[in-house]
Chains A and B, each alone.
Chain A
């Protein structure tokens, strides 16, 4: 029998929702313990949280490097790095990431780009080839506010007495997907701040076709970016890389508009 567990998640962030989510996480922990015949102690959890927090700190350092005038790493490479964190055992990943940061500090920065871009939106944005199409045209991706990017690591878990409660609080308080209600302004502000802090010339808002949540989000997102004077390209894409010709045309036009 395969292990299967469903972790429910509230759509809001408040004390009631955090307490409820903590219960869901505890049930998941119990389920893992029961199915695999293991015991997960508070000490185990705190140790794991610390290792994952180290990952978050290291990824933040990586993203700091990308803010430079001549970043030592492309957006596609950076996405590969964050994606690797989801599969490589964490201690090993952290070692590799530390080594990468050392190497990047000695690498020559990228100079031959036409514009600095920040990627926003979401919906399974785990395809570096999508970034490569943009970067091959001269749009260097210097930051993002996507779920496999900065939204994944920006909220460190502050460990207090109860590690499950700490996890619940951190996961719910982190930058959200539009499934979370009452955080609309926060999401837009996060994307804006991310773009501005990395001195992006424009934002590409990309969403997966048939994702209702991001399909609705673009309504206010567009207005927010316009109000802030941030140039925006809104793209709909498939999960796999397709229609690259159309994508290239739209990105090319966007880059030209940024250069004017």
Chain B
């Protein structure tokens, strides 16, 4: 791909590579039937000057859709950039200006901004937990490129006080967005968005139940890539439609006693990140080992619908609760037991045969507890965990081949162990 082209255009024009990967063994509704039009919307907004806001993995998109602002989830965007093979160039550019050990996710965004290949948004918002690297880079980028920035400050411990404080913060974000767009939030429109959002959450919870079924009705890549859709289209009728279709299809599959694979030999749970630069790894796992990746910490949405959408205060409190339970914030922001308990629940609920801690090299805090989590999962569930150091976005730290080699050694052992002496 040539230099200098708007990154939104690149992504929108190059979806086919991953769409094909997903379609390898899937005949049902494809996540890219919905992500494609979403990125067309982003591309169109970028071309026409319609407002675009950046949020990160800690913020769902309802507020922005309600304000007729197109939300772009930075982490889904950088994942897509990595999938396109464009990440390393941006990472290198970012490292010219910031420390090399900062998260590549952040360096990709900085590099894309410095290259002039991503237009600045009207506003950027993210919560204060869990990543130091977000606090280190996002305000710097916003200041340098001159757009409004809002950090949703949230306390370390989760309780009624944290909900109140975070709700206050979210109220301030609404005001800033109103000032930035020079528009008032239309409460009727917000309620409409929240009704869609709540429907989506109900469907996700029901789908989680189906995805725990053995054999899994979902393919590995369907599970992984759904993240971008759940984050970006929260509060839209398109997401509800997609989830309803997936629910109906998954339920029908289970009723027919069918799984995604003809023979599901292993169920893998990714208790941390998932590689973005070569998604073919997930299909390779299915082909070589009959191993379906059935869940992924960052894609494990267990959030309940917002109870009270009759008042603004009710919605702000609902969002505050939601932010505390967003994947990754839920596990990595706060005491380490949050992570441990979530990882154990994930392995238990999804009936894991093995778990992978694909430890992003820049996530120093998570590496601090990797061994503790691995040991406790094995002690409590007898599930073996592979701790694998890599960079989720940068293939130069550990290549796809290196990852496959590590997985091969691990899974061969797990398969042998599962078969037992003289088993087959």
Contact = CB atoms under 8 A, between A and B. Distances in A.
A216 B136 contact: yes
Interface string B90-110: 000000011101110010001
Contacts of A222: 97
Interface stretch (B127-135, B270-278, B340-348): B127-135
Contact of B101 (A178, A181, A210): A210
Given A181-B135, A216-B102, A217-B140, A16 B168 contact: yes
Interface string A7-31: 0101110001100100100000000
A184 interface: yes
A213 B136 contact: yes
A83 B190 CA distance: 54
A219 B135 contact: no
A138 interface: no
18 contacts: A6-B156, A8-B155, A11-B151, A20-B165, A178-B135, A179-B135, A181-B149, A184-B140, A209-B101, A210-B364, A212-B99, A212-B132, A212-B133, A212-B364, A214-B136, A219-B97, A220-B143, A220-B144
Nearest to B107: A216
B101 A215 contact: yes
A236 B139 CA distance: 21
Given A11-B135, A219-B141, A222-B97, 7 more contacts: A8-B155, A10-B155, A179-B135, A213-B136, A215-B99, A215-B102, A219-B144
B329 to A, nearest CB: 14
Interface string B136-175: 1101110110000101010111000100010011000000
Interface in A167-189: 178-179, 181-182, 184-185
Nearest to B132: A212
A218 interface: yes
Ordered nearest first, which 5 A-B pairs have the shortest CB separation?
A: A215-B99, A216-B136, A212-B132, A181-B151, A8-B156
A105 B151 CA distance: 47
A226 interface: no
A212 B156 CA distance: 19
A3 B156 CA distance: 20
A192 interface: no
Interface residues of A, number: 30
The secondary structure that dominates the A interface is helix
B128 A11 contact: yes
B102 A212 contact: yes
Interface residues of B, number: 32
Contacts of B143: 184-185, 220
Nearest to B335: A6
Contact of A219 (B98, B103, B132, B157): B98
Contacts, number: 89
B139 A20 contact: no
A216 B362 CA distance: 13
Contacts of B132: 179, 212-213
Contact of B136 (A6, A8, A20, A215): A215
Nearest to B126: A181
A11 B169 CA distance: 12
Given A11-B135, A179-B132, A216 B165 contact: no
A8 B102 contact: no
Contact of A184 (B102, B110, B139): B139
A216 B151 contact: no
A222 B153 CA distance: 27
A223 interface: yes
A11 B157 contact: no
A178 B156 contact: no
A116 interface: no
Chain B CB within 10 Å — which of A23, A181, A182, A220 has the most? A181
B213 to A, nearest CB: 40
Contact of B98 (A17, A182, A210, A215): A215
A207 interface: yes
Given A23-B161, A217-B140, A236 B99 contact: yes
